[in-house]
Amino acid sequence: MITSPDNTQLKLIRKLQRKKARDETGLFAAEGEDLVEAAEVAGWEAEVLLRSAVGAVTPQGRTPHSDVEPELLDRVSSLGSGSRVVGVYRQRWVQPRGELSVYLHGVGDPGNVGAVIRSAHALCDGPVILGPGCADPFSPKAVRASMGSIFARPPARSGFGDLSGAKVALDARAAIKLGAGPLAVEAPLVLCVGAEREGLPPELAAQADLALAIPLRDGGPESLNAAMAATVGLYELANRMAADV
Amino acid sequence: MITSPDNTQLKLIRKLQRKKARDETGLFAAEGEDLVEAAEVAGWEAEVLLRSAVGAVTPQGRTPHSDVEPELLDRVSSLGSGSRVVGVYRQRWVQPRGELSVYLHGVGDPGNVGAVIRSAHALCDGPVILGPGCADPFSPKAVRASMGSIFARPPARSGFGDLSGAKVALDARAAIKLGAGPLAVEAPLVLCVGAEREGLPPELAAQADLALAIPLRDGGPESLNAAMAATVGLYELANRMAADV
């Protein structure tokens, strides 16, 4: 039973809220029973697994866990309300692969990065590929927004120029609308999405094999939130690819 | 120039972070130049408009503003980094209307509610209609997630039973897939979306005029984030309706 705030494991969890500590250790923390269970289901073993001495459901996995005074676990939580279970895991990065994947460029909001990891897990077979300027997918906000999909679908890293497969850019300036007519490219496809408002840099969009604009109403905003745009794009491309089979 | 932390306007802004205060006053706060500008563009007049005495771009609108010591404005900010402009506005609720609108049921995350307001503004002509259990669309997180669309597209409130038009439920259990075949219903349409995981309560989904499932991969999660699901549904229905014209 851990009763000291100076416990090494508690200090590690607090430290992992900072990107620098995540980069240095190669670790990250996941808070809450849903996320820890998602890790177990995906076969990830925790480096550290702490549970609140009161009220926590015992994790079913193989990793031994330590009990902690609830107040101490609350204090290292990055969530407002505290968590009853916190796991520490080793970060995993994969190679880009799959018939359909998604590349994000300059998407700096961790909630958006995590949400796209969730959407990709639900809609396509490839990972989320993170380009320059993207938020850390292993930050507490991103891990939470992924709803545990970070474990089943770890991210990849790449520059735009190094992507293989046909690049399909979402670009508000494109003449062809998403959903209009057959796709002029063949799988494997990489959907490429930039930040809200800025979008993909024009010089990158110009290098794409196909550029598509999500049809938006006149008089409304000129862009969707980046996670929404990526999800709509994955939905449409996945449907097209399924129809072509 | 406001130099006292006891200033009535500063205290009001801090108070409006709480739902109770928003309900009692009928007001809400919007932080940051982008949001205040979105309010101006949509023709909303601020009840109070404060700007930091250092570095803020002067709002172009008609509302007179007061200068505040930057540190004091930082302290009433609900954003981590502080804002250089904060406006206080009177909440507006509209009646459900439009050829295509979206009803949310039990969507408790303010970021999701705000993101759907953004998506609806971009993709359909009707408002976001909030049913029971939804987050306050005028909370700081929701207003921010709407990227200012809360001003151009104020929300509506309704119970599921009081919705008019054809109800199209997104329901993971539905036999018909979103995007498969022609729509068996005619506009006006109301897309109905529940919370992630729970979805719409089955007794409500059963009362819908049409139930559709977003096609998801085998082996992936059983649901998308509620805001993602609503956005994909609006995108698909808007495209269908445009094709029918």
Please list the rounded mean pLDDT of every run of 10 residues in chain A (245 residues). 91 96 98 94 95 66 77 83 88 98 97 97 98 97 96 97 97 93 90 93 95 95 95 96 78
Q: Which of A116, A139, A224 to mutate to test the interface with B (most CBs of B within 10 A)?
A: A224
| Chain A residues near residue B216 by CB distance under 8 angstroms | 122-123
CA distance B147 to chain A (A): 9
Q: Using a CB–CB cutoff of 8 Å, tell me whether B220 touches chain A.
A: yes
Q: What CATH class does B8-90 carry? A: alpha beta
- Cβ distance B228 to A147 less than 8 Å, yes or no, reads no
Residue from the list A121, A123, A228 with its beta carbon closest to the beta carbon of B227: A228
User: Mind telling me how many Å the CA of A170 is from chain B's nearest CA?
Assistant: 14
Burial of A162 (0-12, 13-18, 19+ CB in 10 A): exposed
Q: Is A79 on the interface with B (CB under 8 A)?
A: no
pLDDT tens digit sequence for B29-77: 999 999 999 999 999 999 999 998 776 555 555 567 889 988 888 888 8
- Residue B214 sits at the chain A interface (C-beta within 8 Å): yes
Q: Average pLDDT in the B205-220 region?
A: 95
Are A225 and B196 in contact (CB < 8 Å)? no
What is the helix (H) or strand (E) element at residue B110, kind and residue range? helix B110-123
**Residue A168 identity (one-letter amino acid):** V
Write out the two tokens for B197.
């995981």
Task: Name the nearest CA neighbour of A225 among A202, A191, A197.
Answer: A197
Average pLDDT over residues B73-90: 85
Chain A interface includes B201 (CB < 8 A): no
Using CA atoms of A104, A135, A137, A206 in order, give the dihedral in degrees to the nearest 10: 10
Structure token pair of residue A2: 């851990």
- With a CB cutoff of 8 Å and minimum separation 6, the contacts of A134 are A104, A105, A106, A107, A108, A113
Alpha carbons within 13 angstroms on the beta-carbon side of residue A156 total: 21
Rg (CA), chain B: 20
Percentage of residues of chain B with pLDDT beyond 90: 80
* Contact yes or no for A215 and B115 at CB 8 A: no
Shortest CB distance from A118 goes to which of B179, B215, B225?
B225
Distance CA B46, CA B24 (A): 18
Is A227's Cβ below 8 Å from some Cβ in B?
Answer: yes
Region(s) of chain B under CATH 3.40.1280.10: 100-244
CB A216 within 8 A of CB A120: no
Residue ranges of chain A that CATH labels 3.30.1330.30: 8-90
B102 touches chain A (CB under 8 A): no
Return the SS3 of A7: coil
A174 contacts A143 by C-beta, under 8 angstroms: no
Q: What is the CA radius of gyration of chain A?
A: 20
Please, are residues A237 and A191 in contact by the beta-carbon 8 Å criterion?
A: yes
User: Among partner residues A111, A147, A232, which is closest to B111 by beta-carbon distance?
Assistant: A111
Q: Please indicate if any CB of chain A lies within 8 Å of the CB of B101.
A: no
The strand ranges marked E within chain B are: 27-31, 48-52, 66-68, 85-90, 100-105, 128-130, 156-157, 166-170, 176-177, 189-194, 210-213
Strand partners, B2: B68
- The sheet carrying A48-52 orders its strands as A27-31, A85-90, A48-52, A66-68
CATH number for the region B100-244 comes to: 3.40.1280.10
Q: What pLDDT score was predicted for residue B63? A: 64
- pLDDT, position A245: 59
β-pairing, A48-52 with A85-90? antiparallel
pTM over the 0.90 mark:
yes
Which residues are CB-contacts of B206 (< 8 A; sequence separation ≥ 6)? none
The whole-angstrom distance between A231's CA and the closest CA on chain B is 7
Are the CB atoms for B128 and B114 separated by under 8 Å? no
Residues of B in contact with A141 (CB under 8 A): none
pLDDT of residue A57: 58
Helices (H), chain A: 8-15, 19-25, 33-41, 70-75, 110-123, 140-145, 149-152, 202-205, 226-244
- Contact between residue A39 and residue A46 where contact means Cβ atoms under 8 Å apart: yes
Digit-coded pLDDT (tens) for B222-239: 999 999 999 999 999 999
B202 conformational bin, left if phi > 0, alpha if psi -120 to 50, beta if neither: alpha
Query: How far is the CA of A186 from the CAs of A209, A236, A237, A238, B29, in angstroms?
Result: 10, 14, 11, 12, 48
Cross-chain Cβ contact B123/A216 below 8 Å: yes
Question: Distance between CA A205 and CA B159 in Å, rounded?
Answer: 44
Contacts of A149 in chain B (CB under 8 A): 220-221
Please indicate if any CB of chain B lies within 8 Å of the CB of A144.
no
DSSP B82: -
SS (H, E, C) A71-108: HHHHHCCCCCCCCCEEEEEECCCECCCCCEEEEEECCC
A38-52, B6-20, B79-93: which range is least confident on average? B79-93
Residue A231 touches chain B, beta carbons under 8 Å: yes
User: Best of A228, A236, A237, A241 to disrupt the B interface by mutation (most B CBs within 10 Å)?
Assistant: A228
Summarize pLDDT for B106-137 with one digit per residue, the tens: 999 999 999 999 999 999 999 999 999 999 99
Q: Which of A35, A121, A123 to probe by mutation at the B interface, max B CB count within 10 Å?
A: A123
Which of B17, B33, B224 is the best residue to mutate to test the A interface, defined by the most A CB atoms within 10 Å of its own CB? Answer: B224
CA dihedral A112, A113, A115, A116 (to 10 degrees): 120
- B238 Cβ under 8 Å from any chain A Cβ: yes
